[in-house]
Chains A and B, each alone.
Chain A
Amino acid sequence: MVAVLLIDDDTELSKLLEEYLQSEQFELEAAHDGPSGLEKALANHYAAVILDVMLPGMSGLDVLKQLRQKSSVPVLMLTARGSELDRILGLELGADDYLPKPFNPRELVARLRAILRRASGLGGAAASQPIHLAGVELHPESRSVTCSGKPVNLTGAEFDLLYTFLRTPGKIISREDLTQAALGRPMSPMDRSIDVHVSNLRRKLGSYEGDQERIKAIRGSGYVYLLPGEQP
């Protein structure tokens, strides 16, 4: 059984989910408001946290902000459908993925598994080799990144995204492939989370001298990681 924390004020939903997730080999513990959820998340060791953004008292985004100061536990956000702002903010504050509410619990399980797979690290022998490329240094073992010698603080998804880019610089990678690589799941229709992750990553790394973007969007195709002076 994998221990997962659910922070959601809907107690009935929590009970139903607990029952459902049990059959999927997850042990769900529930907290019904922000402060107690934050306390539990920090006190115990969970494999992942499912966090509802709409919480009474302390908003889910505040919980996430405080949680991220001390813990890197994978977080899956539940957002209100149609509230793009929550989604962007959540991903920027370091959530690993999001699911609009109401969701299908099968989808929830799939997303949870994807997050957990990624959190357990990338496999393969080649993966442990550090990559140096145009001022960016990426160490897969410690999952740390420096840019022009300065450490860059990336979320799990952003790290995997950068890792994917650095292995094939100059090559256009489709949004589908990037979603699979960075979020560990297939892209769904109307899914823009990969674009948020890319734009966060771009902001954190900064551009090359002369305002050249490191990561360029190719209309209709995907994204490409460029070296200085390179044109797509």
Chain B
Amino acid sequence: MKYRSLFWKIFFCFWLAAAAMIGALNVMLWFSFASDPNPERRRGALGEALNLYAESAVQVYDSEGPQSFEQYVSRSLKEAGTEIALFDGTGKALIAHSSSEVADVAAEIQQTRQHVSHVTALGRLTWGRPVVAPSGRTYIFVSRLRQPYVPRGLPRLGIALSILAAGVISYLLALYLTSPVKKLKSVVQSFAEGNLDARVAPQLGSRRDELADLGREFDRMAERIAALISSQKRLLADISHELRSPLARLTVALELARKNTNGKAMAALDRIEMESERVNTLVGQLLALTRLESGAERVPPEMVVLEDLVQQIVDDANYEAKPQNKEVKVLQLAPCRVRGSSELLRSGIENVIRNAIRYTAEGTAVEVSLGRGDSAVLTVRDHGPGVPESELAHIFEPFYRVGEARERSSGGVGLGLSIADRTVKLHRGSIRAENVGDGLLVTIELPLTPSPATVQPVAEKMPV
């Protein structure tokens, strides 16, 4: 899972917010205790108890003497965990004590003649007050509670547990919110890859929220697109069939005419044959281009061994080139695996190479090279007239002609490079043309599949 995904964002935001709230609440509680050290106000019962305690302790000392008092003190230490110290009116300790805290409090009381209470950072309370015994003598009573009087710092375990619980809840919440998004994404992805039957509804279950609505809207859209594409495909198939049936009859009738005229109209018949062949090529290429542009063509996730494909195309192209005293040469063939349709790539690359054969001068060779960098780089270079710089950008447009008369006589219909362009783009690649010395250099770049070592080559299934 990616760390920038919606899931982690929701999860961390909720968790952080919950943790911050838990923390803030605890700190506030602690401060409200710690900042108000007056025990009477905070805890009336404790205040009363301490007062009572002070009076009875003083009475014991005053009326029964130090020995009884010591018994009293040790009992109180044992039973209540409270240390007690007693001073006379001048601040002289009447009973030994070890704490400087206690001495400080006693000194303060002697000066102010009032209650004094101290709370240490650890939360222990030292409290004292002046007490006037029934005999009229004044004493200073100080006691020190052994138990922390307010929570010692923050209750760490509790806080950790509640933050953990908040984490679990945030996790479940994030999961609940993002799981339909993930499902939606996988369906959209599959649809985009050409699986026109991909729908969200079966994955949503009984959800009825906005995300489920979004899914249902996607399904409606998918339904519509699938219908459009399939009708387009049908239309293309029909057009292809309807245009080619008369052409098929025409060629047969033409050959019959050839037989029956005994060679008298040969030139005209040859011309008819050539033109009908041209119409046939045009129909084929126009259909191919329309299919590519309409999105009716899907790129299968098939592994294509590009070097084998290029070699096959070059072999075939040489078949065409040799009779024209031209040649197609392979300069370099780096091993390249790309993902896509070998059939479409074949026709795309073939069109570029055929175009180069058409323009390269007689007696020269078209040079084909397949290199490997960040992507597969196929270059096709001819030794022909090149293309004027101002027109370079247009040569991939359908029916764009550079040298009008030249191209017609060379037999092209003006769609080859457009087909190559659309095919390469369908495979997420790029194609560009530039003039180099005495000819045109067309460069095709196709993204490589990640690791060529682990893929299963399908070269042998491909050449069809």
Contacts and interface: CB of A to CB of B under 8 A. Distances in A.
Interface in B240-268: 240-241, 244-245, 247-253, 255-256, 259
A149 B244 CA distance: 48
B244 A102 contact: yes
Nearest to A176: B319
Interface in B437-464: 459-461, 463-464
Nearest to A220: B311
B249 A10 contact: yes
Contacts of A191: 316
A45 interface: no
Contact of A20 (B247, B252, B330): B252
B343 interface: yes
A84 B464 contact: yes
Contacts of A104: 251, 255, 273
Given A219-B311, A220-B311, A192 B244 contact: no
Of A16, A20, A199, most buried by chain B (CB within 10 Å of CB) is A16
Contacts of B460: 198-199, 202, 213, 217
Contacts of B248: 10, 13, 101-103
A17 to B, nearest CB: 6
A195 interface: yes
Residues of B in contact with A, size category: 35 or more
A19 interface: yes
Interface in A178-230: 187, 189-192, 195-196, 198-199, 202, 213, 217, 219-220
Contact of A192 (B255, B333, B463): B463
Given A219-B311, A220-B311, A80 B244 contact: yes
B319 A10 contact: no
Contacts of B308: 217, 219
A42 interface: no
A20 B256 contact: yes
A168 to B, nearest CB: 20
Given A10-B248, A102-B280, A202-B460, A220 B315 contact: yes
A42 B148 CA distance: 105
Given A81-B280, A82-B284, A220-B315, A106 B464 contact: no
Contacts of B307: 219
A22 B250 CA distance: 18
Given A10-B245, A16-B252, A196-B464, A217 B240 contact: no
A118 interface: no
A105 B255 contact: yes
B256 A16 contact: yes
Contact of B240 (A16, A80, A202): A80
A111 interface: no
Nearest to A82: B284
A31 to B, nearest CB: 17
A120 interface: no
A81 B343 CA distance: 13
B284 A13 contact: no
Contacts of A195: 463-464
A94 B464 CA distance: 15
B464 A17 contact: no
A64 B274 CA distance: 33
Interface in B266-289: 273, 276, 280, 284, 287-288
Interface in B294-334: 307-308, 311, 314-316, 319-320, 330, 333
A23 interface: yes
Interface in A1-24: 10, 12-13, 16-17, 19-20, 23
A85 B273 CA distance: 28
B287 A190 contact: no
Interface residues of A, number: 36
A54 interface: yes
B338 to A, nearest CB: 17
Interface string A33-54: 0000000000000000000001
Given A81-B280, A202-B460, A13 B316 contact: no
Nearest to B248: A102
A81 B244 contact: yes
A88 interface: yes
B252 A189 contact: no
A202 B240 CA distance: 34
A101 B244 contact: yes
Contacts of B315: 175, 220
B280 A189 contact: no
Contact of B259 (A23, A102, A213): A23
A55 to B, nearest CB: 11
Contacts of A19: 256
B464 A88 contact: yes
B319 A103 contact: no
A19 B252 CA distance: 9
Contacts of B311: 219-220
Contacts of B276: 102
B422 to A, nearest CB: 15
Nearest to B307: A219
Given A81-B244, A196-B464, A189 B249 contact: no
A199 B249 contact: no
A196 B461 CA distance: 8
B193 to A, nearest CB: 19
Interface of B: 240-241, 244-245, 247-253, 255-256, 259, 273, 276, 280, 284, 287-288, 307-308, 311, 314-316, 319-320, 330, 333, 343, 350, 459-461, 463-464
What are the 4 tightest A-B residue pairs by CB atom distance, in nearest-first order? A195-B463, A102-B248, A16-B252, A189-B319
9 contacts: A16-B256, A20-B255, A20-B256, A54-B241, A104-B273, A187-B319, A192-B463, A219-B308, A219-B333
Given A102-B244, A189-B316, 5 more contacts: A16-B249, A16-B252, A88-B464, A101-B244, A217-B308
